[in-house]
Chain A
Amino acid sequence: MSALTNTLVGPSSSKVSRVVGIMAIIATVFMLLLALVWSPPEIDQADAVRLFYVHVPSAVIALYVAFTITLIGSIQYLRKRSVFWDLLAHASTEIGVLFCALVLVTGMLWGKPTWGVYWQWDPRLTSTTVTFVLYTGYLAIRRMDLDPAVRSKRAAILGIVSFANLIIVRYSVEWWRSIHQSATFGLDTQLDDLMLFTVFWAVVTFLLIFTWLLIHRFRLAWFEHQASTSSLDDAIAARRAERSHPPLAGESV
């Protein structure tokens, strides 16, 4: 496979991704200092408030950025049938699901010291869980052994309907909880200026990380696409090349 890979693809990094990556590293260092050292503990929640600096940006990235890109990519794919939009939607959803998982984990970790239990039927947490499963379904469709064009089309439809559903789930869960519970605990937290700035900075940092991941994931998907659509001849040539230079003992083929 290595010969084939080398002829078709390069590393999944590029000039842009390297710049974004370095910016993300610098921003992360600054974010860690802000979140862990410079910003003060909160009055009620003490150090638990620091989970906010991961939780809030993850939620912003997953629910507002990533799945919106999925929506746009899906719509554009159905309009233009271009591989670019299709792969962009795929890459974005995959990273979105990852950040969604991060929202749930940090939400539960924060819940233990704040609510006393890991899981409270908080509207946001509940609807995020449903959203998480919703987009896991999208990823499941992407893994199906289907004709690529059929798979892309179905995934695109799913990407659009899932976004509509995300909104429906969000409102219905909030309405459902509003009759049992007066307000969401903990979200009326008093944040001072430095804390607010830390949240803002964390969002910026996570955006950079997201962009970096998106570029890499997109390029990887692009290479996968290239490899799967490249002609059989390339594969045969690669096999022949392997035969004329047999792999060394112990080297994987």
Chain B
Amino acid sequence: MGRAGLLADAALIFKKDLRIERSSKVVTVQVLPFAVMTLILFGFGISPDARVLLGSEESRTVLAQVTPGLIFIAVLFSALLALGRSFGVESSDGTLDGLRLAGLDPAGIFLGKAAAVMVQLAMVSAVVTGGAFLLFSVDVGWSPSRAVLLVTTVGAATTGIAAAGTLYGALAAGLRVRDTLVPLLVIPVLAPVLLGAGQAADAALFGAVADGWPWVGALALFALVYVGVGILSFESLLEDA
């Protein structure tokens, strides 16, 4: 199958998953509120009044200070739900076998599903980021370069999460214990993404923008590795799912 076939198959699966989401609205009305609730829980868990000293005079709330990390922790937890959903729709009626019987390229199925998860996660990330700014009163001296760094960070991080998550979701597909197994498998794998995204977002909000870009590079590399691994291994994973 040629490259055009691969991308066409990917586009088909991508549209299919988003169409399912549009009619079922599981991510929109379940995962998204969960993500926002996570932010509120951070507020409950970490006192909103606690402050860190930045110098002799200045101080910032602890919540604002740790916002970069909290955003991606919330996104990571939401991703687990979105991934569960992504493979949940394929678990009944042998739909994964159906997709293969339809002659679709397994690599295309991987790309399509990962892209659909990525779009949904990007949406969740946007809401979570906006919500965090609002709820945690993060005051940032915005500049275009900071905004570009933050948006790129979110894009690279969600791509990595979606690619690695789709790979591991397929690994656990068809198992009764999938819901508990996927977090165990995926969280250690995504630990570097949380590290990188946290650092890059911290640079975008509070630090020097130049410090953030190497981390974005690492995130992009991570995403690339997992897209590659997914394309190569999805055929054997689907064979007997």
Contacts and interface: CB of A to CB of B under 8 A. Distances in A.
Contact of A157 (B175, B187, B233): B233
A158 B186 CA distance: 11
Contacts of B237: 154, 157
| Most chain A Cβ neighbours within 10 Å, of B176, B188, B189, B237 | B188
Q: Does more than half of chain A's interface fall in helix, strand or loop, or is it mixed?
A: helix
Contacts of A149: 240
A23 interface: no
B167 A161 contact: yes
B26 interface: no
B91 to A, nearest CB: 14
A133 B59 CA distance: 37
A147 to B, nearest CB: 7
A136 interface: yes
Contacts, number: 66
A134 B236 CA distance: 21
A179 B222 CA distance: 20
A173 interface: yes
B86 to A, nearest CB: 18
Contact of B236 (A144, A157, A165): A157
Interface residues of B, number: 26
Given A157-B171, A168-B222, A147 B192 contact: no
B234 to A, nearest CB: 10
A176 B69 CA distance: 13
A222 to B, nearest CB: 23
A75 interface: no
Interface in B206-237: 218, 222, 225, 229, 233, 236-237
B184 A140 contact: yes
A157 B195 CA distance: 25
A78 to B, nearest CB: 7
A215 B176 CA distance: 32
Contacts of B181: 137, 140-141, 144
A124 interface: no
B191 A130 contact: yes
Interface string B129-167: 000000000000000000000000000000000000001
A162 B167 CA distance: 12
A58 B225 CA distance: 29
B143 to A, nearest CB: 22
B240 A134 contact: no
Contact of B188 (A134, A144, A145, A179): A134
B199 interface: yes
A144 B175 CA distance: 8
B240 A153 contact: yes
A150 B184 CA distance: 20
Interface of B: 167, 171-172, 175-177, 181, 184-185, 187-189, 191-192, 195-196, 199, 218, 222, 225, 229, 233, 236-237, 239-240
Interface of A: 78, 130-131, 133-134, 136-137, 140-141, 144-147, 149-150, 153-154, 157-158, 161, 164-165, 168-169, 172-173, 175-176, 179
Given A144-B175, A150-B240, A169-B192, 18 more contacts: A130-B191, A134-B189, A136-B184, A137-B184, A137-B188, A141-B185, A144-B177, A144-B181, A145-B176, A146-B175, A157-B233, A157-B236, A164-B229, A165-B188, A168-B225, A172-B196, A173-B192, A175-B218
Closest 4 CB pairs of A and B: A172-B192, A137-B185, A133-B188, A134-B188
18 contacts: A133-B187, A134-B188, A140-B181, A140-B184, A140-B185, A141-B172, A144-B175, A144-B177, A150-B240, A158-B185, A161-B189, A161-B229, A164-B225, A169-B191, A172-B192, A172-B196, A173-B191, A176-B199
